[in-house]
A and B are shown apart, each in its own frame.
Chain A
Amino acid sequence: MKNYEYEKMTMREFHAPNKKVRIGVYVVAVLLVLLYLLPIYVMLNQSFRYVTDLTPRLYLPEKWTLDNYIQAFTSSDLLEGFKNSLVYAAEVCVVEVVLGGLAAYGLARAGGRAATTLRTFNICIMMIPSLSLLVGTYSLMVNFHMVNKIWALALQTAAIGMSGTMFFYTSFIVSIPKDLDEAAAIDGAGILRTFFQIILPQLKPVTVTRLIMIAIGAWNNYAMPSYLLTNTSKSTVVLVVRKAFYVAAGAVQNVPLACAMCAVSLLPVILLYILLQRYIIEGQLDSVSK
């Protein structure tokens, strides 16, 4: 009867594959990993070639060379790019987290019609695609001399992401008991002090993941930086690498050098990803599941 079947097939067996299936699982796993590492392989493979090496890109280089990497490291563009990207990402992080966190705290705790309206307004703002504002933003930045200023771009990026950060923080602050605030108020702490000394420590783990996500977004941001940072000395890493791949009319493209620059630019990102995988993966989940 039904009970016998259940005894024969416990939940452990239900989830555990048999031997044939297990081999299949490994085959699929290897294929998936290969599919996902292919672009990295193509990039690295190109980066060790001479420009004149036109053998199929699928196979290893005819003759290996490190010249491209030496050139990538000695060109000041990439180094400058790293510096600019770092400054830019840090500025976006600070502005977005401090202002977004404060605002979220205020809105979550104030209650009443005004706060609810502002929160709904905020969710609507989240839907605005930033490029639909391109003309408006660009002419605003030009009029106020904010082109080629990293801080101005950082403010703009933070403004675009602000509603998301506020939404994210609000959902966490709501789950912190109000008693904590009240106890602090009775002890004579002001609102700002309550936020920085009582609430913010509670938000530490979510802040770490949020910071990582904002930093990744800023680091990889392309559209707005490409229009607002036209000066080469202000270029971010992504802009520098993009330029290396770009063929100007009449110029000869140096694909191996571009790939080497690309590899160097990706190295810190991938290292950080492996080191911080726990936070990154959980952070992504937190931000959507709330």
Chain B
Amino acid sequence: MEKRRKRILLSLSIPAFLLIFIFMIIPLGNALRVSLFKWNGFSQNMKFIGLENYLSLFTDDVFWRSTLNTFVYGFGSTLLQNIFGLSAALFVNKQFRGRNFVRLILYMPIMISGVIMGAIQYYIFNFDNGVLNNMLNLFGIENIYWMKTGVSSVLIITLINSWQTMGFCMLIYLAGLQNIPKMYEEAALLDGASKRQIFFKVDVPLLIPAITTAVITNLIGGLKLYDIIVTLTNGGPNRKSLSLSYYISLLYFNDEKAGYSSAVGIALFVIIFLVAVPINRYLRSKEVEY
């Protein structure tokens, strides 16, 4: 009886795993297989070339550039989002009128698709009649070509991504701050601790679980960045602001290198895995009980 019940319970997960199998495991297998071939993506003509696609990763400048950019998008955004998110959380945690409104506005950009946000931001950072340059003109500064180089484009994309999704971090930290029992701060105050000491010695260690979730979520989100780049720089100038996700789709649909694109896809998969797992483990080991 008990065994039968257990079997039925397990079988409830079959439809869900079937869907995952069809749309994730089969494509993964497919990608692994295709990555061993030279293939343009649509013809019948597939040529087996072994590991050559993976070997050519090493000599492909655009791949390394995109990998570096992906790390900047991942780690840069995570850093900025956490600094700004924590500051914003400390700020809206203060007592002042209208703080709920501020919270509402700071979180709002997350509701907007990255593609659309990129399209609007384009008119802020544009060289010709961009809003930022309009503002600088007020102070007598000439127009600046913000997205002239790959480096500046990458930095601007990182900045906009951090700006857009900062509200998420803010919420996590806000919940974390409100979960800290007031008596800890009171006890520290009683012992003569300063405000700064209370923040670093009491609040921060107790915020580690919140930091863990914020860092992991932002990191994975940043490493997968795609949408904003499409409309803001389209990977330019000269494919210098691509993320790996975007490079994969360009290789497939523009360059018609399906095999090579699959190899880059597998590389991205490995990179995310290698980065997220140890960081998760490290941060979990730092959590404090209270």
Interface size on A, residues (CB 8 A): 100
Give CA–CA (A27, B95) in the complex, Å.
Answer: 14
Chain B 135-171 interface 0/1 with A at a Cβ cutoff of 8 Å (1 = within):
1010000000000000000000000000100001001
A125, A222, A241, A265: residue with the most chain B Cβ atoms closer than 10 Å: A222
* Choice from B88, B168, B190, B276 contacting A32 with Cβ under 8 Å: B88
Give CA–CA (A170, B68) in the complex, Å.
Answer: 36
Residues in A neighbouring B261, C-beta threshold 8 A: 134-135
* Interface: A186 (CB within 8 A): no
Q: How far in angstroms is the closest Cβ of chain B from A285?
A: 5
Which of B12-20, B54-62, B75-83 makes up part of the contact surface? B12-20
Give CA–CA (A142, B26) in the complex, Å.
Answer: 14
Contact status B224-A131, CB under 8 Å:
yes
Residues in B neighbouring A99, C-beta threshold 8 A: 15-16, 19
Contact status A39-B121, CB under 8 Å:
yes
* Interface: A51 (CB within 8 A): no
* Choice from B115, B227, B272 contacting A129 with Cβ under 8 Å: B272
Chain B 173-191 interface 0/1 with A at a Cβ cutoff of 8 Å (1 = within):
0010000001001100111
Residues in B neighbouring A103, C-beta threshold 8 A: 12-17
Contact status B26-A140, CB under 8 Å:
yes
Interface residues on B, range: 35 or more
Contact status A36-B109, CB under 8 Å:
yes
A→B interface (CB under 8 Å): 2, 5-6, 9, 11, 14-17, 22, 25-26, 28-29, 32-33, 35-39, 42-43, 46, 54, 56-59, 95, 99-100, 102-107, 109-112, 114-115, 118, 125, 127-140, 142, 155-156, 158-160, 162-163, 166, 185, 191, 195, 216, 219-223, 227, 238, 241-242, 245, 255, 258-259, 262, 265-266, 269-270, 273-274, 277, 280-281, 284-285, 288-289
B→A interface (CB under 8 Å): 5-6, 8-17, 19-20, 22-24, 26-31, 34, 41-42, 88, 91, 94-96, 98-99, 101-109, 111-117, 119-124, 129-131, 134-135, 137, 163, 168, 171-172, 175, 182, 185-186, 189-192, 195, 209-210, 213-214, 217, 220, 223-224, 226-227, 230-231, 245, 248-249, 252-253, 258, 261-262, 265-266, 268-269, 272-273, 276-277
